[in-house]
Structure 1
Amino acid sequence: MNTSLFAASAADLTIERIRALAARPDQVESLTLEFKREYSKSLVTTIAAMANTYGGLILVGITDKAEPGTDRVVGVDAQDTIDKIASSCREKFDPPWEPTFIPVPFDDGSGLSVVVIRVDANTAPRPLLIDLKAPIRLSGQNSTADRDRLLKLAREEPTVDVLPMGQGLMAPSLNRNNEGEPAEDFVLRTGINLPMGDAGAWRPLSERAVNALAEALDHSALPGALRHLGQGSIDQFRGFHPLGHNRSRTARLVWQGGSPGRKVQHPVEAVVTISLPPIQGLATAPVAGITVDVVSRFRRYAQSMGNMSWVYRYPVPDLAVLFDGLLKTFVAPEVVEEVARITDIDAALVAQPRELHLVADRPVGDLLVSTGLQEIPEAGASFGGIFRANPALDLRIAAERQEQVDDWLRQLGLDAGLSGMETLVESYRATTSPPG
């Protein structure tokens, strides 16, 4: 789910972050998020409904509607509220079960708090019944499971060890030429895994849906980041278009930049792949995958221009722009909306990317501009790596996305056996505009 508060540690849950969430004009109640002014009987039904669907987050102490000039965050007595909710869960639920409660106190000495309730569908006993009925979540409100949905919940296998949506991507690999040598400088991959609605699980990909996603990608931050990577050397480019293996359950959209007539025609490409599970043998909870691979060949492009004595290296700021462009694209509302439409789920369930894979044709230290970087003696070389994202960061927020990018750059330097990356990143940020 999109809200990073679900994955944040208790120490990272501050009243400032909660106020920022409540103040966002685009943050409305959804399948996985609900605001409650105070304890009520319906709150317990919402807990069961989320447990029987995709899980979610309930924030108690926040009004569900924003009034102009008023603060939505009103607060509650945390202990009294938690006691009432826990008691009702034990009395009403069959079998008895409690979600996770985290009180987040105000910082004004008032004694009030916001109670964060995390409902993890992977750990809840499903179906979770109230009065012999199984509540479920539909478009920001509660409903009741019909017979088929109830049977499906009862037949589910335990899923405690399931990877969070957005993780578990396959690592990319470098293509090779006829001599068996790598044909690319590096491949960068990120992506998400996400659940599918009933219609998305059986219907084929439509040309209209794929074309709409291509248009959203063309208007995202990714094309600009790709053009920036070449430092102005790209003369022409072609927007995202179907190319290669496209089938009823798979779509492959490619963005290409380059200079026609050169030996290396496309020094940079982005390949977005949408993979829906096969209809035959669908699991109880079918999962779709969406990945984007950035394939860069600028070193080979420079060599093809005839200057064999000059070896192209990638500036660290260019990678920062590329990392940010990738993340910003995956959380762009227009892209999220098209992904949700393809998979037939609520946009709130479209995960944020939580992994970045890098595979290079040589040690990373030889790939980067060395100014400001020094090799650590006997540290060994790295040809890439897997970089995890901090689940407590909301990548829709520019400042938090920048924090994630900087963390990945620092890890890239450390894994490559280089010192100086931290100072280099700080110097770069000092010369750029603050995120807006």
Structure 2
Amino acid sequence: MRLLVKYEGMNNSLFAASAADLTIERIRALAARPDQVESLTLEFKREYSKSMVKTIAAMANTYGGMILVGINDKVEPGVERVVGVDAQEEIDKIASGCREKFDPPWEPTFIPVPFNDGTGRSVVVIRIDANVAPRPLLIDLQAPIRLSGQNSIADRDRLLKLAREEPSAGVLPTGQHVMSPNLDRDREGNPTADFILRTGINLPMGEAGAWRPLSEKAVAALAQALNESAFPAALRIFGQASFTSATGFRQHGHNRSRTARLAYQAISRPPVEHPVEAVVTVALPEVYGASTAATATVTIDVISRIRRFADTLNVGQPGDKYHYPVPNLMELLDGILKTTVDPKVVAEIARITDIDPTLVAQPRELHLVADRQVKELLRTEILQEIPDAGASAGGVFRANPALDLRDTADREEQVDDWIRQLGLDAGLTGMEALVESYRSAPRFRM
């Protein structure tokens, strides 16, 4: 089975964007990012050269990627980075080179993105999808591959793996699918939490990551990166007054040579000692019996017991039940997503799996499992229940692959989409207006 990568999880979202969404403004913003450098999956080219064909083959034989033609690959003071090219002329040259060199014949996808300034110049986006390329893609009886942002040649073992790959049709790309969580239950079978949120990613494995055990230093570095991320602050906002202290992310529970479980636990009084808990689990594939396409998984769980905590404060006082404020949930989702793209967190995950940080995908799926109907958990405010809408105790929320979660506006757009879907699935109207009102309030802005 071939090693799959969710391309929109690369350091840019242009791979997954539709052609209509590819604008010169987005490309200029990408090229201007100080942290956006050439890598295993991304290259900038001023114009066509013969080496470009080899790079296309190398990306096709490895993780796929994208080449932007019309952008200076070297950043120099006073030199314009995005210079553009004659799109049709460049595409003709590249396509001709692919036809002449590739065995079997194959072409990547070409998308010209015009400047729209009357100059007639464009940036040509070349998308190389490793899931559809006829691997191994040969040039002069050799299979180029990508190693640390440079082209190399596959050795005998790598070539045999490429030749033995099974077709990828029907297989979920890496980074997309996350197993749905289950609520823990007590001895009587009753849920012990109000709800659990889960997101995560799947990752390819580097050569060393595929066999070496997790090191204590690597796990400790990941815990430190999580503690310095936006996650703890989001959990505190979400928890409101249900706790005054927390453990921070630390190893807790099931930790093994190839599994790291880092838990953040809010501290409160019995019987609800942890009204909020977050667990980040990194699981590497087992060494023995693992396929060549074995992947690592990173899951992020948030378990909330705040309603149960509030119930302990109202013993003997049948007052209003606690309902989760929508803006607190929005802050939590934003904090989770911001953490998944935090450069320090990404770097530590990449170090553990022995891959380039550009291959650490952005999460594209969110699960919610509640102990009751979602509409019973939310603070309704201006929300109205739709008659006979049915029950919903959670759901699966897919992300827009064209959004770059590192960008604040894109990340907020994704959070808003998920919250609106949550309201609709729960049979409630008014969530769109509620989200807009919170976003426009100065106190909400981050």
Do both share a fold (TM > 0.5)? yes
CA contact (8 A) 1:354 1:389 kept: yes
Q: What's the CA shift for 1:34?
A: 0.2
The match for 2:421 is 411
Aligned to 2:115: 106
Q: Matches of residues 6-25 of structure 1 in structure 2 within 5 Å?
A: 6-25=15-34
User: What's the counterpart of residue 283 of structure 1?
Assistant: 291
- Correspondence for 1:208: 217
Partner of 2:441 in structure 1? 431
Mapping of residues 301-340 of structure 1, within 5 Å: 301-305=309-313, 306=315, 307-340=317-350
Q: 2:280 aligns with which of 272, 275, 285?
A: 272
CA shift for structure 1 position 435: 6.9
Which residue of structure 2 lines up, in the alignment, with residue 116 of structure 1?
125
Cα offsets for 1:107-146 (capped at 9, x unmatched): 2121111110110111111111111111111111111112
1:370 aligns with 2:365: no
Alpha-carbon deviation of 1:93?
0.5
Match of 1:293 in 2: 301
Match of 2:364 among 354, 375, 384: 354
2:11–2:36 CA contact under 8 A, matched in 1: no
Q: Which residue of 2 aligns with 1:258?
A: 267
1:200-246, CA deviations, whole angstroms, 9 ceiling, x for partnerless residues? 11111111111111111111111111111122331110011111111
1:389 aligns with 2:399: yes
Deviations 1:238-274 (A, max 9, x none): 0111111111121111100021x32100000001111
CA–CA separation in structure 1 for the residues paired with 2:264 and 2:335: 14
Residue 293 (structure 1) shift: 0.5
> Is the Cα–Cα contact under 8 Å of residues 103 and 113 in structure 1 kept in the other structure?
yes
Correspondence for 2:69 among 60, 65, 70? 60
Aligned to 1:342: 352
Task: Please list the CA deviations of residues 302-360 of structure 1 after superposition, one character each: whole Å capped at 9, or x if unmatched.
Answer: 11123542311000000100000000000000000000001000000000000010011
1:83 paired residue number? 92
> How many Å separate the matches in 2 of 1:214 and 1:340?
14
Are residue 133 (structure 1) and residue 146 (structure 2) matched? no
Q: Which residue of 1 aligns with 2:431?
A: 421
CA distance in 2, matches of 1:192, 1:168: 7
User: In 2, Cα distance between the equivalents of 1:67 and 1:396?
Assistant: 25
The change in CA–CA distance for 1:69 and 1:412 in structure 2 (over 3 A counts) is farther
* Structure 1, gaps ≥5 residues long: none
Task: Give the residue type in structure 2 aligned to 1:340.
Answer: A
CA offset digits 1:384-403 (Å, max 9, x no partner): 10000000000011111011
| Residue 37 in structure 1 maps to residue 83 in structure 2 | no
TM superposition outliers: structure 1 runs of 4+ over 6 Å: 433-436
Q: Contact (CA 8 Å) 1:358, 1:385: kept in 2 or not?
A: yes
Contact persistence 2:438–2:444 (CA under 8 A)? no
| Of 149-158 and 308-317, the range deviating more from structure 2 | 149-158
Q: Which amino acid aligns with 1:423?
A: A
1:244 corresponds in structure 2 to 253
**1:200 aligned counterpart, secondary structure:** coil
Taking structure 1 as the reference length, the TM-score comes to 0.97
The 1-side partners of 2:351 and 2:185 are apart by 36
Matched, 1:230 2:242: no
How far the C-alpha of 1:427 sits from its partner, in A, is 0.4
* 1:432 to partner: Cα distance: 3.6
Distance 2:176 2:61 in 1: 22
- The 3-state SS of whatever aligns with 1:4 is coil
Q: In structure 2, what is the Cα distance between the partners aligned to 1:324 and 1:336? A: 16
Q: C-alpha displacement at 1:433, in angstroms?
A: 6.9
Residue of structure 1 aligned with 2:158, choices 144, 149, 156: 149
Q: Would the alpha carbon gap of residues 69 and 366 (structure 1) be closer, same or farther in structure 2, given more than 3 Å must change?
A: farther
Query: 1: CA distance between counterparts of 2:22 and 2:445?
Result: 22
- Shift in Å, 1:167: 1.1
RMSD: 1.3
Give percent identity, aligned residues only: 72
> TM-score, normalised on structure 2?
0.95
Amino acid at match of 1:80: E
Give distance in 2, aligned partners of 1:175 and 1:434: 33
Alignment of 1:188 onto 2:197: yes
Please tell me the residue identity of whatever aligns with 1:382: S
| Number of residues of Structure 1 aligned to a counterpart in Structure 2 | 435
CA contact (8 A) 1:364 1:416 kept: yes
